[in-house]
Structure 1
């Protein structure tokens, strides 16, 4: 009779289907988050887009419950070298910052006229933490899919299989991505407090 402490638990087929479906939905959402934040990061860094200045006319909280802040701002984006006639009225949704009226900051306009991203280090930190945490979620899901079942029997002299080596690398990726996310979040928090 096998010792129940050394036999790995297996999930039933229904549980596996639900886990794979749930993992697929989470992976889709995290991938969308990574792609969106990466394009915003590229815009903030200046890989593409039109440089200029965004002037805030007003900001307000759109969350009716007042439990979570969901700040939207209204203002004008003026391309560098342009005048008042070149200004474009832009509504920024979910900015994460309640800018005082009249605030101006360096920004870049994306391919769409209403796509505006704050330029410079503040824009980078606003996106970096999102990329870090979303990439960590993707690495964790990949780790869960790749890692072999635990045997329960310690064997320190055993050579790791290719699958186990990939799982270890993915776990290292989780640690690195979480670190990037935490550093980006803390840098944004420090900037928010300092300025």
Structure 2
């Protein structure tokens, strides 16, 4: 069982017993529609201004040859860019490598690692340094994975594209999958000790 990643990172497996101190959750399945909605929101909040680049480039000839056709071409270029970037995000839900992201998994959290279990023998292990950031929302947490290091032989424009057009991969941890309010509070406190959330009290249950 492999954790999906566009560059092939985070391919760790576990076939060991659970940590006795781990916070264990009920099984949860991230559906493709939810992933697409959340990933789209994250990408376009960060990259909306990229869509201005093809628009401006399409208008540049109008400085020399004024015509409404250049405005039309600029709009077409912008739409094509938006469709292309959006297709990159929705494509994550279609490829074979990403299927584990949308399986029904139980989570186990301790101070050293996160284990995503398909069953007692199969699962994936992540260390906390693989988590880039954590967002707390109204009904749970989103743990976003860091992008893996780029290959050293990837140079020039290809390296720039790989760095700036990555697709977010994250774990969704809803409050409802915790077995008790106390488990949720322990998890919240764990994140705050690791400086992944502000040091305020956990929300009331």
TM-score (norm 2): 0.24
- Please state which structure has a larger fraction of its residues in helix: 1
Q: Which has the higher contact order (CA 8 A, sep 6+)?
A: 2
